[in-house]
C-alpha cells in the first residue's frame, strides 16, 4: 500500500505570530488577572467575558457568603511544608481571582467560620474561582496569540 501526502494539510510553522501584538496580548493577560474576563473583553470576545466574569464573581460571592476563608498573603516558613506550606497554596488559589479576592480581603470579609456547616464548600468555591481565572487568563493568551478563536 502506498502512502500519499495529504494535499490540504496545514503547513507546520515554528512560531506563532500574535494576532493582537505583544503589547495587546500582555495587556489582555494582566487585565484578565486583575478582573476576571476583562482580558477577553479587550480582545472583543464579549460573550466569553460576561460568562467568565459572572461565573467567577458568583463563586467568590457564594464562597464569602457561605463563611469561607480568604487566606492572607503571609507566606509561612517552609520548614514543615505539610502543616504550614499548604496555606500558601491556598492563598495562591484564592488570589487567582484578582480584585475579586483583594477587595473583600482588604475590607475584612472572608474571615470564615470553621464551625459552619458550609465552611468546606465555601472554601472550594473560593479556590475554584481563583484557579478558573488562571485558566481564563491562559485562554485569553491563546486567543490573542491566534491559537484559538
Q: What is the pLDDT of residues 79-110, one digit of tens each?
A: 666 666 777 888 999 999 999 999 999 999 99
Q: Which long-range contacts (CB under 8 A, 24 or more apart) does 50-56 make?
A: 52/132, 52/133, 52/136, 55/132, 56/97, 56/100, 56/129, 56/132, 56/133, 56/136
pLDDT of res. 14: 55
Which comes out higher in pLDDT, residue 89 or 15? 89
Beta bridge pairs of residue 67 = none
pLDDT of residue 57: 98
**Mean pLDDT value of segment 64-85:** 77
What stretches of 96-118 show up as alpha helix (H) in DSSP?
99-106
- The residue extents of the domains of the chain are 22-145
Euclidean distance between the first and final Cα of the chain, in Å? 38
> pLDDT, tens digit, for every residue of 16-58?
566 668 899 999 999 999 999 999 999 999 999 999 999 999 9
Amino acid at each position: 500500500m502506498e502512502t500519499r501526502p495529504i494535499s490540504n494539510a496545514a503547513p507546520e510553522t515554528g512560531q506563532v505570530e500574535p494576532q493582537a501584538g505583544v503589547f495587546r496580548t500582555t495587556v489582555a493577560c494582566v487585565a484578565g488577572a486583575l478582573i476576571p474576563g476583562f482580558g477577553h473583553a479587550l480582545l472583543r470576545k464579549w460573550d466569553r467575558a460576561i460568562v467568565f466574569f459572572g461565573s467567577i464573581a458568583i463563586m467568590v460571592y457564594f464562597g464569602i457568603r457561605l463563611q469561607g476563608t480568604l487566606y492572607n498573603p503571609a507566606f509561612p516558613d517552609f520548614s514543615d511544608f505539610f502543616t504550614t506550606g499548604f496555606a500558601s497554596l491556598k492563598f495562591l488559589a484564592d488570589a487567582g481571582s484578582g480584585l475579586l479576592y483583594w477587595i473583600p480581603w482588604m475590607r475584612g470579609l472572608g474571615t470564615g467560620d470553621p464551625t459552619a456547616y458550609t465552611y468546606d464548600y465555601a472554601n472550594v468555591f473560593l479556590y475554584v474561582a481563583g484557579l478558573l481565572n488562571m485558566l481564563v487568563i491562559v485562554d485569553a493568551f491563546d486567543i490573542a496569540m491566534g491559537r484559538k478563536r
